[in-house]
Amino acid sequence: MFKKIAWALAGLFVLIQLIRPDQKNPVIDSSVDFQNVANPPTEVLAIMKDACYDCHSFETKYPWYSKIAPVSWWLANHIAEGREHLNFSEFGKLGGEDLAEIMEEVPETVQEGEMPLPSYTWAGLHPKANLSSTQRNVLIQWFKANGSGERAGDRGEEGKGKAID
């Protein structure tokens, strides 16, 4: 009986591999991408690319385990939800209250340790996403300094300068 159940489960596992989520990243319109709209300092952008972009942009890098169901389904859903909540590839499309809310929410979630998600940093699968307190502070300070209801625009190397509406 145990053998039959084991074979049935193994067969089911093989069959579910045929149900694959789409893992193609959409084309990025650079005119609305965060790095071009907000022009953050290199350090801020590097931290964000390591810790945020896999789930919150169209620059997702799918790891090897993203090809194995049911993990692939969970990741596809997770990425879709992340992009729906905040997509740095479409950052320039945000305006008014939505932008102000995001600029306030990002440092808050980073400070409270809600982002990056523990499931993303778990077991050392994404070591660059395990932010140090210094990296967290860099993000928090930049977003707070640039989120006073205005958009972070052409702020030069130091992340300061002209704000965009």
Residue 165 has what pLDDT? Answer: 35
Chain-centroid distance of CA 67 in Å reads 19
What is the predicted pLDDT for the residue at 163?
37
How many Cβ atoms sit within 10 Å of the Cβ of residue 64? 7
pLDDT for the residue numbered 151: 43
How many angstroms separate the CA atoms of 153 and 150, rounded?
9
Tell me how far apart the alpha carbons of residues 75 and 67 are, in angstroms, rounded to a whole number. Answer: 10
Distance CA 56, CA 37 (A): 16
Q: What is the pLDDT of residue 148?
A: 60
Q: What is the structure's pLDDT at 35? A: 94
Q: How far apart are CA 6 and CA 25, in angstroms?
A: 36
- Say what the pTM is: 0.78
Return the pLDDT at 65: 86
**Separation in Å, CA 69 to CA 6, 12, 38, 62, 147:** 18, 11, 37, 13, 40
Q: What is the full per-residue pLDDT of the chain (165 aa) written as tens digits?
A: 999 999 999 999 898 898 888 889 999 999 999 999 999 999 999 999 999 999 999 999 988 888 999 988 888 998 999 999 999 999 999 988 899 899 999 999 999 989 888 888 876 678 888 899 999 999 999 999 998 644 444 334 444 433 333
In the prediction, which pLDDT does 8 show?
Answer: 94
Predicted local distance difference test score (pLDDT) of residue 125: 73
Report the pLDDT value the prediction gives residue 66, as an integer from 0 to 100.
86
The whole-number pLDDT of residue 38 equals 92
Q: How far apart are CA 92 and CA 142, in angstroms?
A: 17
Whole-number pLDDT of residue 105: 93
Handedness of CA 118, 101, 27, 153 (dihedral sign): negative
